[in-house]
Structure 1
Amino acid sequence: MNFLRGVMGAQSAGPQPSGAETIQKLCDRVASSTLLDDRRDAVRALKSLSKKYRLEVGIQAMPHLIHVLQTDRSDSEIIGYALDTLYNIISNDLEEEEQDDSEEENSQKQVEDLGSQFTEIFIKQNENVTLLLTYLEEFDFHVRWPGVKLLTALLKQQGPPVQQIILVSPMGVSRLMDLLADSREVIRNDGVLLLQQLTRSNAAIQKIVAFENAFERLLDIITEEGNSDGGIVVEDCLLLLQNLLKNNNSNQNFFKEGSYIQRMKPWFEVSDDNAGWSAQKVTNLHLMLQLVRVLVSPSNPPGATSSCQKAMFHCGLLQQLCTILMATGVPADILTEVREQKNVFIKPAIVVLLMSMVNERQPFVLRCAVLYCFQCFLYKNQKGQGEIVSTLLPSTIDATGNSVSAGQLLCGGLFSTDSLSNWCAAVALAHALQENATLKEQLLRVQLATSIGNPPVSLLQQCTNILSQGDKIDRRIAIQPVIDGTLTISHGKARDLE
């Protein structure tokens, strides 16, 4: 700091110069000094002032810092200082200060405006970004790491234009992929964050990153970090995988063809003792399950979804999901996410699912997730619809009463005193009848025992009785689709008799 004190002058020499004046003197020194040591000291001083005097340093020093990057690349120390200084004036990461809410909101807006404006100035010349990309190839830690942070900040501030510059830069994306192979974890981890920003909402870059072996490297990192038991690094890798796969059919196909689905199986291995899940593990499992949903989303091409489903079945991933579904001690929000895996649902778990749906002690979101899963299972699935309705018919009911069927659970929920059970069961039953006239007709045969000693009544009659009662409007609305489906068939049969 001797150099900085020399620029500012001794206290006994008179009034201290303002921050802007000091910064101007430092900029003059960077521009005019012929000695590298002098320039390096001046840039280091600018770095130390860049957080407190962000605006002044940004306005006065940016052209000089860019010039340093262009002319002094043989000295890694001055390059590192220049990159750090540019990061400080472009990034919106501020140290926390005590402010009231209104001051904090205004300050944050000003900070965001500054970062965006300085980024716009920096990227106005495309070669500035291209120059930065060359520094990311340097192995020196004091150059590569601040370069990664600076490019990440630029992408956060002005994503689309920076993406476009990198996309047209020769080997621009490929240079960044090398960060994932860096043996220094801090650079590798920040490289993952950089690629998150780079791939956001840009299908062209997503494809390049995927074909540059990103899947292999990310899955290796996840494995090294402990899969779902890993820390924030696993979360960051999973977020990057989502960027690469979501709504990108080409990458999804490449992921499947590369046998990467099989490598997801260990993610869902849970121990017998599931007590005490950490918040990070819950977050990781959520993201892992969301990736499964991305691969089997109904919005994907039908053939792509089907092939991913088959791959999940054959590699045992589906069985792992079912194990989680049946396990004890798994947090409710993870069970909710598992049960929303609509396109990898299997029939043996259906009774367990419905038990949760009609149990009023279960969380609301969990019960809704079961209903959603059940609806998707029955969608255009006449065989599945038939199996559900058959459990309601007298010929298939277990006379010993030793087992609980899906039909019994639905009927129990339909006539429960719990309004949500009524709603869920009625909607589920309506989906079992949807666009299936044969099953609607069979449902007319269903007889229910209302109480001991009284004759049974038909399901249709019991639904009508509920509808005629004046209480609980939501219950009556839920019952209506079931009645509509069965009445249509009932009236048709009456017309045939006439």
Structure 2
Amino acid sequence: MDFFASGLSALRGQKGQHQAGSETIDRLCERIEYGTLVEDRRSAVLALRACSREHKRDIGSRGVSVLCKVLRQDSMDLDITKAVLETLTVLCQADTEREGTQEFALEMSNAFLKVRGASSQTEVYSTASNADLQKIVAFENAFERLLAIIDDEGAISGGIIVQDCLQLVQNLLRYNVSNQNYFRETSCIQRIPALFHGEGIDDSGVHDPMMKDAWSDQKGNNMIMVLELIRVLVVPDHSNTTTNQKSMYQCGILQLLIDLSLTSNAPQRVKASAFYALAELIRLNKVNQDALSKAVISPAHPPYVHSEDPSSSLTPPTRSSAQLSRTSFQSGRGSALGHRFLEPRDRCPAIVEVVAIAVGQYPGCTYSVRAAATCLFQSFVLENPDTQMVLATTLNPPPEDNPNTPSHEKPQSPGTLLLGALQGWQEDGEVAATDPYNSWFATVLFSHILQNNTRAKAIALAITFGDEENGEDPVSLIHAIAAALMVAVKGGADVRVALGYLALLCVWCYDSSKSIKDFLSEGAHLQFLIELISPSSKEDPMVQGLAAFLLGICYEFNWEQDALITRATIQPIILSRIGLDHFAACITRVRESKPFKAAIPLMTVLPSEEGDGRLPNLFFDYSFVEFMKRTFERTQKSIAASPHNTRPQQAQQQTNNAEMESQLTALRSKVSRQDAEMAELRSKLEEAQQALSRQAQEREEYERKMAELRWEQQEGQMRYSALEKEHEDLLVCLAEQDDELTDLKGRLQALEVGGA
């Protein structure tokens, strides 16, 4: 009865009133902890065991430490020990019958995820612009830990945590030379391909270029962050770019980008980012450029097609001029709804597919993808004259359209696609009215093939159209482009079409007297330019400015003796019908126009610019803008020069100017490289100084510890000596006591004998 009474009293408060569970647990814990009698502690433990199944959470949070204490204190009491162990066993068992357990576990998991997400976002914000904090975080194994988290979360197939981690890695690397060196030296670049996990990797680990898995919005965001990470490591004109480009090529990133941009079913925004990353990966790198030129793919044809568009076709488009112009980008924009996949075509060179996308062969590609493909082509030929020559040799007229010939059997080359796009504009006015960028992108690509390459210009100049055997007069390619320009202006086409053709002719004719001779051999061309530039012209000021720039080039470099229209013919016409002031004003107006100033190195189309059927704000290629800024003043002043100046004098002046410009460019490049090297050396010096400072601190710490150890050793020796002396004294005392004990024993025996 005492047992039940004690248990009942533990569960009831004063005056017999029932107490709440938490209050009861608190009182029992207090009795266990502060009880002086074993019986009181035993009864409280038994009562606590009785409550353990109904109040697990309260006992677990308040009583575990008390139970452990009483278990140590009363370990000899079998009843207490048994009750404590049974209570702890109940507390540790999973309660699967109660819904609250799972809910509590989910709450705890969500709390942990929120804490981790908040911490990652905090680090993202704090490392965005703090170089010192970036170094501190990076050298705490941040890259290895972040990449491990990304891998655990499923790489690009993961959630928002993956995006935050990738953003943090970018913050640590952007504009930070030392962190980039550390990232490369710790072989983290070799771990980037693993971030493509689940995309194009089959069960056997073999790369599948089709990448047919579905793409969620978060997955697309994660992939774009991976591509941005690659671009951070290959920023143009950076001291680490060449080394990082080499490392990325060796670990297979270049091939992954080719497959992602050209053979996968990735969303348009992902493909555009992949094109930009690939463009910077091969920029000014001959090995990577050659690797792209040799790449052969099985393209996904086309990436997306709107199923509600009756004009969409499941058959691959042809590559001939007429069919190309009829099938090339009736809208130039894709939709996020109603898409379906189409069967892949046969294998073809990757660069052919890049050109096909840029010039508008595939329905559904957005302008952002086409602009990105154009940037990739520019990087492909940048300072690569051999590649320019190879592409120039592919500039063959497209074959006649034959509906009985399968599209994949027809000739396909970059040059054929470009010529088809340039001609297709005239053959399909409806397409030209809705999408002027077919010809505009083609002229941009064509101009990059010809830029600063005399031999490529000569090859293009030799291309003619027309079958002489059938009585047709041959027409040179430069005449065909001039004719297309005239049709565009007179037909009221979008201003972008005329600007594209004029920019191409300016690049082609610059410093090429033979090209100018052929261009001016048709008198209508000069008359057309004069009409465009004349004060009475109603054409767009940008068209007038480029026409004036082209006319100035034709005058400046017109040195062929047998030319039909010479410098002496051109200058009087300019002075009488245009005037020097108006001529200069035309060039100035185009240079001061908003589209001209808005040109940026990385041709980009924002999503807001291509929605609701609008055309993007692309009017000028950045390389042409730089070309015009470099040469307009010289071209503008040449109009006032005497037409009777001999070529050697002018050529010598041009040569001197060219040499000076070349030397100036070389010096600027050298200074830029030296600045980069100095920055890198400063960074290394700072790291070395920090390492030296750390070593000095460590040395001081070691010396301090050595001094402490020496002092402890001396103290130990002194204690040992004292103990040894004490030990000797004790031995002496022990010997004396033994003697005394022996003496006492002898006396005791003597007394016993005497008593007997």
Give the TM-score, by structure 2 length.
0.39
- Give 1:231's aligned residue: 159
In 2: Cα distance, 1:350 partner to 1:430 partner: 16
Partner of 1:407, secondary structure, is helix
Partner of 1:277, secondary structure, is coil
8 Å CA contact 1:227, 1:266 repeated in 2? yes
- Give 2:513's aligned residue: 491
- Off by >6 Å, runs of 4+ in structure 1: none
Superposed CA offset, 1:441-480 (max 9, x none): 2211122359995454211010111122213232111011
Change (3 A) 1:451 1:320: farther
1:444 to 447, 455, 461: 461
In 2: Cα distance, 1:388 partner to 1:294 partner: 30
- Give 1:416's aligned residue: 424
In 2: Cα distance, 1:343 partner to 1:386 partner: 22
AA matched with 1:227: A
Counterparts of residues 98-109 of structure 1 (less than 5 Å): none
AA matched with 2:449: A
- Give 1:478's aligned residue: 500
Unpaired segments ≥5 residues, structure 1: 1-76, 78-182, 395-399
- Give 1:287's aligned residue: 225
- Give 1:323's aligned residue: 259
Change (3 A) 1:449 1:199: farther
- Give 2:276's aligned residue: 340
Q: Could you tell me how far 1:490 is from its partner in structure 2?
A: 5.0
Change (3 A) 1:449 1:328: farther
8 Å CA contact 1:296, 1:308 repeated in 2? yes
8 Å CA contact 2:447, 2:508 repeated in 1? no
In 2: Cα distance, 1:251 partner to 1:476 partner: 47
Counterparts of residues 40-439 of structure 1 (less than 5 Å): 185-269=113-197, 270-271=199-200, 272=210, 274-301=212-239, 304-341=240-277, 342-345=279-282, 346-347=292-293, 348=295, 349-359=350-360, 361=363, 362-392=365-395, 402-417=410-425, 418=432, 419-439=436-456
8 Å CA contact 1:199, 1:205 repeated in 2? yes
Partner of 1:415, secondary structure, is helix
In 1: Cα distance, 2:149 partner to 2:123 partner: 14
In 1: Cα distance, 2:123 partner to 2:387 partner: 43
Deviating more after overlay: 453-462 vs 191-200:
453-462
In 2: Cα distance, 1:333 partner to 1:484 partner: 33
Superposed CA offset, 1:49-82 (max 9, x none): xxxxxxxxxxxxxxxxxxxxxxxxxxxx9xxxxx
Superposed CA offset, 1:93-130 (max 9, x none): xxxxxxxxxxxxxxxxxxxxxxxxxxxxxxxxxxxxxx
8 Å CA contact 1:441, 1:489 repeated in 2? no
Q: Could you tell me how far 1:266 is from its partner in structure 2?
A: 1.7
In 1: Cα distance, 2:473 partner to 2:272 partner: 40
Superposed CA offset, 1:137-157 (max 9, x none): xxxxxxxxxxxxxxxxxxxxx
Give the TM-score, by structure 1 length.
0.58
Q: Could you tell me how far 1:281 is from its partner in structure 2?
A: 0.1
Superposed CA offset, 1:215-270 (max 9, x none): 11100000000000000100000111111111222212221121111101022352
8 Å CA contact 1:296, 1:343 repeated in 2? yes
In 2: Cα distance, 1:371 partner to 1:227 partner: 29
8 Å CA contact 1:343, 1:377 repeated in 2? no
Partner of 2:192, secondary structure, is helix
Change (3 A) 1:489 1:293: same
In 1: Cα distance, 2:384 partner to 2:463 partner: 21
Superposed CA offset, 1:161-213 (max 9, x none): xxxxxxxxxxxxxxxxxxxxxx9554433322221122121111111111111
Q: Could you tell me how far 1:420 is from its partner in structure 2?
A: 0.5
1:463 maps onto 2:481 in alignment: yes
Unpaired segments ≥5 residues, structure 2: 1-61, 63-110, 201-209, 283-291, 296-349, 398-404, 426-431, 518-558, 563-756
Partner of 1:468, secondary structure, is helix
In 2: Cα distance, 1:450 partner to 1:289 partner: 49
AA matched with 2:248: M
In 2: Cα distance, 1:452 partner to 1:425 partner: 30
In 2: Cα distance, 1:449 partner to 1:240 partner: 60
Partner of 1:340, secondary structure, is helix
Superposed CA offset, 1:11-41 (max 9, x none): xxxxxxxxxxxxxxxxxxxxxxxxxxxxxxx
8 Å CA contact 1:228, 1:284 repeated in 2? yes
- Count how many residue pairs are aligned between Structure 1 and Structure 2: 311
After superposition, the CA RMSD in angstroms is 2.8
AA matched with 2:437: L
Larger relative helix fraction: 1
In 2: Cα distance, 1:213 partner to 1:475 partner: 53
Q: Could you tell me how far 1:354 is from its partner in structure 2?
A: 1.1
Partner of 1:213, secondary structure, is helix
Deviating more after overlay: 408-417 vs 210-219:
408-417
8 Å CA contact 2:389, 2:455 repeated in 1? no
Deviating more after overlay: 226-235 vs 326-335:
326-335
In 2: Cα distance, 1:291 partner to 1:374 partner: 21
8 Å CA contact 2:443, 2:500 repeated in 1? yes
Change (3 A) 1:299 1:491: closer
Q: Once the two structures are aligned, what percentage of the paired residues are identical?
A: 34
8 Å CA contact 1:393, 1:445 repeated in 2? no
